[in-house]
Structure 1
Amino acid sequence: MPERHPPLEAIGNSIGELTAAIAARGEPPPVDRWNPEHCGHSGMRIARDGTWYHEGSPINRPAMVRLFATVLRRESDGSHVLVTPAEKLTIDVEATAFRATQMTTSGDGDQRRIGLTLDSGDGLVIGPDHPLSVIETDAGPSPRVAVRFGLEAELARPLYYELAEIALAEGHNPAGVWSDGMFFGLSA
């Protein structure tokens, strides 16, 4: 069976093309409104590098990972769960649920828009609905963007460096970037 939503690509696409592709997907499943009883642990883990595991073995089918990603949410206590209308299972997440792996931009200064695609195949535009932050972790600064339902995506280092280059070129003090009408600092 073909995938209903193949992964989005930022590379080679304009911000307009990316936002049109995001809009064409429609809304994700309403996992924020599903509240079944907790059923236990899924036996799954998302490693720091974004690899999904089930009972210690990597899940090698990207389409399967993308499907699981659609029913993932973060609880108010910081834990992550896979949820359907009938069941809720805990999943271990070592850092963030997703990784931002590709970027496209348009405009300059406060007119800039920054689009990202994620390892889950989804896309977003950094802005009011998807704010960018940098938090300090044991592994050093971690640039992150809010995705949905409390989930975050950590930016791949090359994307963070590209944002830093933009901030330096535009001379922002403190260092940061504009996207979709909002300014986001690039330090923890």
Structure 2
Amino acid sequence: MPYDPPPEMQDLSLAEIAGLVAARKLPPVEQWSPQAESDSHMRIATDGRWYHRDGLISRPAMVRLFASVLRREDDGRYALVTPFEKQWIEVEDAPLLAVEVKSEGNGEQRRLAFRLNTDELVVSGADRPLILRGSVDEPRPYLGLARGLEARIERSVYYDLVELALAEQPDGADDLASLPIWSDGACFRLDRISAA
């Protein structure tokens, strides 16, 4: 079955993006409990590239396929899961990257949609939170996803979010002591580091 990537985000409204997200059928990975386990000999590097036995997996369709059956286990390890087998995979940071953001609305009515490096579209909200780790000097932003996964938000996308939050600061506010940003009814702080 050929893969048709979603249209460019800037050409879509958030309602259209939300419709595409809802229509996406993912395997019910969270329902599978296979007994067989093995090592996949795969690794996802910090830069989002996938490797098998140190060889780069260069076909985007293969990465999308593997990402569709990836989950994080309760013990923090990552696995590729089918109904018959669980294969462990090494993840250096986050398994996915948020490479683009689109904002619609302002304040509490804002909705943020992200494009991942797999071309998946995700609308942030209470069940897909924005998370800030690292330090104030070196923030590491993430987007929470289904199945215990996260996408590291690329630096340029994070700066876009900060710019959106700064634009809504009250007139005359020049300190960065409070950088809230809303998405789909949930408020996130871009200035507050989360506990690991």
TM-score over 0.5 for the alignment?
yes
| 3-state secondary structure, aligned to 2:127 | coil
Which range moves more in the overlay, 59-68 or 31-40? Answer: 31-40
Aligned AA for 2:2? P
Query: What do the CA deviations read for 1:111-170 (whole angstroms, capped 9, x no partner)?
Result: 100001111221111101201110117x93211111110000011111100110111111
Distance 1:127 1:133 in 2: 11
Report what 1:2 is aligned to.
2
Q: Which residue of 2 aligns with 1:104?
A: 102
In structure 2, relative to structure 1, the CA distance for the partners of 1:20 and 1:94 (3 Å cut) is same
Identify unmatched segments of 5+ residues in structure 2. Answer: 171-176
Partner of residue 168, structure 1: 166
State the alpha-carbon separation in 2 of the partners of residues 157 and 8 from structure 1.
23
Which protein shows a greater Rg? 2
- Distance in 2 between residues matched to 1:96 and 1:74, nearest whole Å: 10
What residue in structure 1 maps to residue 174 of structure 2?
Answer: none
Corresponding position: 1:177 with 2:177: no
Cα contact 1:44–1:92 (8 A) shared by 2:
yes
TM-score (norm 1): 0.92
SS at the partner of 1:89? strand
For structure 1, the 5+ residue unaligned runs are: none
One-letter amino acid of the structure 1 residue matched with residue 153 of structure 2: L
Give the equivalent residue in structure 2 for 1:48.
46
AA partner of residue 178 (structure 2): P
**Under a length normalisation based on structure 2, what TM-score does the superposition of the two structures give?**
0.88
Match of 1:34 among 8, 32, 35: 32
Aligned partners of 1:40 and 1:88 also within 8 Å: yes
Task: Provide the secondary structure at the position in 2 that maps to 1:91.
Answer: strand
Q: 1:48 and 1:90, CA in 2 relative to 1: closer, same or farther beyond 3 A? A: same
**CA deviation after TM superposition for structure 1 residue 70, in Å:** 0.4
Task: Classify 1:141/1:38 alpha carbon distance in 2 versus 1 (closer, same or farther; 3 Å).
Answer: farther
For residues 130 and 10 of structure 1, the distance between their equivalents in structure 2, rounded to whole angstroms, comes to 18
**One-letter code of the match for 1:14?**
S
Contact 1:8 1:21 in 2 (8 A): no
1:11 counterpart SS class: helix
Q: Secondary structure at the match of 2:5?
A: coil
Number of aligned residue pairs: give it: 185
- Where do residues 74-113 of structure 1 align in structure 2 (5 Å cutoff)? 74-113=72-111
SS of equivalent residue, structure 1 residue 130: coil
Distance (Å, rounded) in 1 between the aligned partners of 2:159 and 2:80: 32
Residues 114 and 126 in structure 1, CA contact (< 8 A), matched pair in contact too: yes
Q: Could you say which residue in structure 2 is the equivalent of 1:118?
A: 116
Match of 1:155 in 2: 153
How is 1:107-146 mapped onto 2 (pairs within 5 angstroms)?
Answer: 107-136=105-134, 140-146=138-144
* C-alpha RMSD of the superposition: 1.8
Check whether the contact 1:45–1:52 (CA below 8 A) recurs between aligned residues: yes
Q: SS of the counterpart of 1:149?
A: helix
Percent identity between the two aligned chains: 45
Deviation at 1:13, TM superposition (A): 2.2
Q: Which amino acid aligns with 1:10?
A: M
Query: Does the 8 Å CA contact 2:36/2:84 hold for their aligned counterparts?
Result: no
Deviates more, 1:17-26 or 1:106-115: 17-26
The 8 Å contact of residues 115 and 121 in structure 2, kept in 1 or not, is answered as yes
Q: Against the structure 1 CA distance between its residues 158 and 46, is the aligned structure 2 distance closer, same or farther, given a 3 Å change threshold? A: same
